[in-house]
Structure formats: C-alpha cells, structure tokens
Structure 1
Amino acid sequence: MNRLTITTELVRAVIADQFPQWAALPIRPVASSGWDNFTFHLGDDMSIRLPSAARYEPQVAKEQKWLPRLAPHLPVPISAPIAMGIPSAAYPYYWSVMRWLPGASADQAAPENQSNIARDLARFLTALQSIPNQGGPQPGPQNFYRGGLLKTYDDDVRRCLNMLKGRFNTAHITDIWDTACATHWESPPVWVHGDIAPSNFLIAEDRLAAVIDFGGCGVGDPACDLVIAWTYFAGDAQRVFRETVNMNADTWARAKGWAIWKALLVTCDKGGDTEHLNHLLIEMSATSKKL
C-alpha cells in the first residue's frame, strides 16, 4: 500500500482552493497523526483530516453522514464534521474539515485516576450500542471488518503465528484465537466505534472528554471495542471497565481475538517489535480469571 506524502503547503493550497473563507487561518500538523489520516490544525477551532491512501477514503463520507446522527445520543462530544473537501489535482481523495475537540489524547496523558476514565468509556460504549442502527454501515473492507467475523482474519493470524514460532508460545496464542473464533454475537447488531485505542479518546481532568476517529465505525458485534481493557487499562481500572460495560464471557473471548489479531499485525506486517504482543499476553494472563 502506497501512502501519500502530505505537506502543510499542500493542505494550505486545497483549503485556499475549496474553502477560501478559511484561507487566512494558520495551518499546522497535529502533534501525532494516525495511520489512516493525516491531520492538521485549521486555526484554533477546526482540524483537517486527509486520508493517507485510497483504502481509507470511504471513511470520509461515512463520518460525514453518521456522526451528526450519533452525537446527540452520546454522553461526551465526538468528532463533528463541518465540511467535506472533494478530490482535486492537488489531492486525489475526499477529505474532511472537523471541529477541534479539547483534551489530551489518552496515549499522551498520564491520568491519576484511570478508573474514572474506564467507567466513563464503558458508559460511552453502552450508550453507543443503544443508538438505533437501521441502515447503519455493515462490517466490510472499508472498516477492516470491525464488528464482523474474526474468522475473516484467520489466514493472516496463522501466517503470523508461523513466522513467530520459537519466539512466543504460539500454541497458547492459537488457543486464544481458536476460542475467540468459535463464538459469535447472538444478539441484534449494535453500533461499534471500531478503533477504541488510546489515541482516539481525549482526557481532561481525569475524565473522558471526547471520542474521535470513527472511521472504523459500523453495526455489528461490539467485541472489537473491548480491546482497550488490555491495551490501556490496568489494575482496578480493568475491573471497573469490565463490570461497567457488562458483556458476557463469549464476547470477552472475541475481544481477546481482536487484540491478538492487531498485535500480530503490528509485529509481523508493520515492522514493529514484539513489545506490544508481549505486553498484551502478560495482561491477558493476569486477567484470565476475570475476563
């Protein structure tokens, strides 16, 4: 996959071309962009999000359509579209102008009371799951099957496990994966965020302040949204999150499967080291009697 190179000068040019009313506002990169999009500040109150590759472009129209419908039902602010840019000679994809939301991303903050955030985030997910979802986006390639069947990634997981033989207890990881794939969401489909990661929720004064980046959202199985139990929360915060989100054992088993898939992807395909996978396995082992 070829990711674009996007500069401040390019962003300034497309703003001037398509939204001249904002051309005089300062533009600068955010401190940390994600993988799917390049993000820039537009003045003090807005942000610009440009997909980094063609596979991420469908997320733009989805967020533009659905986020205004979800927002009134949720306990904290979420990403709010203001305008949508169109493909041009300077930049080939649809893109978004969003409202800038205050707060520090969880991966850059050090909260004193993680349990408050765990409770807030669990309540947010419960509220999201309760929103009517008729006509909502189904799991598929556009959201990497979040909310869909884990079995979609079975070949990828087994390929990675084969690469890691001798470095990890791959039999144990295979058991986690097989257990996850053997279960299914038996209830009606619900809204899922799709990428509840520390970089995608904001914190202020040790409370959840906002949730952002709904590019992976869809309607389906909420197990994918529970991965944060191991990738961010620890100790009592894990317990609070688990009890407040109130899911059954099979759903937690699938959540482990989603966590394993992502950790293997990072380790095998994105050139990452093994630290993330090691941490995940340690956390899962420590909480195996609870989740």
Structure 2
Amino acid sequence: MHPGMHPIDDDLVRRLLAGQFPRWAGLAVERWPSGGTVNAMYRLGDDMVVRLPLVQGGAGDVLLEREWLPRVAHQLPTRVPEVLGAGEPAQGYPWPWSVYLWLAGEHPEPGALSQPVPLAEDLAAFVAAMRSIVLPDAPQAHRGGPVASLDDETQAAIKELRGIPEEDVDCDAAAAVWEEALRASGWEGPPVSLHGDLMPGNLLVEGGRLTAVIDFGCMGTGDPACDLFPAWNLLPRDAREVFRKALGVDDAAWIRGRGRTLSQALIALPYYRSTNPAMAHNARHVIRTVLDEG
C-alpha cells in the first residue's frame, strides 16, 4: 500500500515476543485480516493482539496511544484498546510496537446495519464524551486543523479522479461540495478532544450496538467537525439525522464535517483503489452518500 513498508511475518512476531515478552512466547500467533492501512495485526492466543506499524509514520501513533489511551479510557462510554505490553525495536524491526487486549466484535457495514438509529445514538454518545475530555498539552489531531489545510491534497485528488473515468465520480459535484466546505464558517471555540479517524474499520459492534472504538493513532484536539465522519461513511439518512441532532451540530459544522469526510474519501480512492479494497469501497460509499445528499 505504501512505499517504505517493512516486511512483517509470523516468525518476526514470534521472535519479538520471545525476546521481550517471554511469558507470551508459547501462545499461538496468527495474522489477522485487516483493512487497516498503517499497522499489521496478529492475534496472540485467545485474548490479545499484537499491532506493528507497517511504515515509519505509524510509529508515532503507537507512542501516542501508549501515552493518551490510559488518560481517556475511563471517561468514555465504550471500550477502547488497552496496552498490555510496550514493544521496542529489535530483531531487525525498526519501530515501537504494542500488545493489546483483544476486543471482540464486528466492524459495521454501511447498508447492512441491524440497528442504525441506536448505533447513531451510541456514536453520538462516544463523540460527545470525547469532546468533554480535557487533554492538557495534547497534540493537534491528525485532521484537526482548518478545512483549508486539506485543500491542496483534496484538489489534487479531484484532478486525479478526473483522469480515472472508470470510477465514475462526478468531480464537478464533488468540487462544489468541497468549495462549500471551504466557505463555511470555521470553528471559533477552543479545540476539543477528538478521536480523529472514526472509520467503520475502527468501530466494533455486537448486536448492532457500538461496543468498542479502536485505533486512536489520529487522536488529539481540533475542530469538532472532524468526528462527524460516521454520518456519511456509515449511517443511512434517518440515522444520520439522529446523530446530528444528538450532537447539536449547527449548519456550518455540518458542512465542514461533510467536506472533511468527502475530502478523506476523494484522497483515499485513487490511492487505495488497487491496494486496499476495504478502503476503496468505503471511499466510493462516502462519495455517493455525500453527493446524493446534495
């Protein structure tokens, strides 16, 4: 998926565990199929998972989670990853890595939600709880800055998609939605705490209800519109409105949130279309959903 990816296999994971966590060295290790783009995941025994960055950029996410997850976990209404072991570079592997408690559940699928409205309420409760947490000295979230900070990359993605006719993206309509987001009033309040990457692949559900949120590598502070992603990357129209009402989102924030979500999808589609089917599929879903909303 990316240049500079480090090769990771079962044998490397076993050697890292044997060298740093010998108490777990005899447990079964199995690659976990994941649509994630930054980390490799390995089940460890029945109740743990090893998470290793694939690229150098993921190393900072590992360290961020180690520092901030223990500070926010008890303030959130759902389970979040719990770091059980802090691995360090070794055996030719160059970056920090972690062992986490395994969290059960399934990733929700757009268009196949068994309880979309209750799930929307659960997601709103999580976002509201994140916003209420005070994180002194926390970094700016990965996508927490002004909408305009995303403009160059978004415009480049729209231009690239114009050259991929088989994707059938209405690039003029996408550009119009993006321009509306750029014109919308910016966030004028203090930065709020954000997860920063509320993709379906970072959510776990059981019985249709949200039970856990994972991958806090993009967390930090910034514009609250950054955590409105599920409105368009997951929820159908009626549940989207429930999500919006529960969070009390005004028109400007809604337009910014829609633009941010569209931006991410426009950038992801040409980048992942031949390397990560899950990411490309969700990007297409977001683009259709946003443009259908009009």
Q: TM-score, normalised by structure 1?
A: 0.90
Q: Paired residue for 1:159, among 156, 159, 163?
A: 156
Preserved CA contact (<8 Å) 1:57 1:95: yes
Aligned residue number for residue 180 of structure 1 = 181
User: What is the RMSD computed on CA atoms of the aligned residues?
Assistant: 2.1
Tell me which moved more, 188-197 or 276-285.
Answer: 276-285
Unaligned runs of 5+ in 1: none
Matched-pair contact (CA < 8 Å) for 1:14–1:90: no
Match of 2:90 in 1: 88
In the other structure, the counterpart of 1:233 is: 235
Query: 1:176 corresponds to which letter in structure 2?
Result: V
2:120 maps to which of 114, 118, 123: 118
State the SS of the aligned residue for 1:106: coil
Give the structure 1 partner of residue 288 of structure 2.
Answer: 282
Q: Give, in whole Å, the separation in 2 of the partners of 1:251 and 1:21.
A: 49
Q: Give CA deviations for 1:198-245 in whole Å, capped at 9, x if unaligned.
A: 111111122111111101111111212212111111132112112112
Alignment partners' CA distance in 2, 1:275 and 1:110: 14
Among 77, 80, 85, the residue aligned to 1:78:
80
**Preserved contact between residue 121 and residue 208 of structure 1 (Cα < 8 Å):** yes
* Counterpart residue identity of residue 240, structure 1: V
Structure 2 counterpart of 1:157, which letter? Answer: T
* Residue 25 of structure 1, CA deviation: 1.1
**Partner residue of 1:22?**
24
3-state SS in 2 of match to 1:119: helix
Distance 2:270 2:60 in 1: 26
Is the contact made by 2:111 and 2:236 (CA closer than 8 Å) also made in structure 1?
A: no
Equivalent AA in structure 2 for residue 87 of structure 1:
P
Larger mean CA deviation between 225-234 and 102-111 belongs to 102-111
Q: How does 1:138-287 map to 2 (within 5 A)?
A: 138-139=140-141, 143=142, 146-165=143-162, 167=165, 168-182=169-183, 183-271=185-273, 279-287=285-293
In the alignment, is the contact (CA less than 8 A) between 2:16 and 2:91 conserved in 1? no
**Structure 1 residues 69, 208: CA separation in 2 closer, same or farther (over 3 Å shift)?**
same
1:93 aligned counterpart, secondary structure: coil
CA distance, structure 2, for counterparts of residue 282 and residue 16 of structure 1: 47
Q: Secondary structure at the match of 2:162?
A: coil
TM-score between both structures, scaled by the size of structure 2? 0.89
CA distance in structure 2 between the partners assigned to 1:180 and 1:107 by the alignment: 27
Shift of 1:71: 0.6
Q: Distance in 2 between matches of 1:62 and 1:90?
A: 23
Give distance in 2, aligned partners of 1:184 and 1:196: 21
Instruction: Return closer, same or farther for 1:108/1:174 CA change in 2, 3 Å cut-off.
Output: closer
**Identity among equivalent pairs (%):** 36
Structure 2 counterpart of 1:238, one-letter code:
R
CA spacing shift, 1:59–1:281, aligned 2, 3 Å: closer
Partner of 2:131: 129
Inter-partner Cα distance in structure 2 for 1:101 and 1:155: 37
2:98 is aligned with 1:105: no
State the AA in 2 paired with 1:151. Answer: A
Could you list the runs of 5+ residues in structure 2 that have no partner in the other structure? none
> What is the distance in 2 between the residues matched to 1:63 and 1:279?
29
Alpha-carbon deviations, 1:17-50, whole Å to 9, x = none?
A: 1111110111111232511100111111111110
How many positions carry a matched residue from both structures? 283
Q: Identify the range of structure 1 (277-286 vs 113-122) with the bigger mean alpha-carbon deviation.
A: 277-286
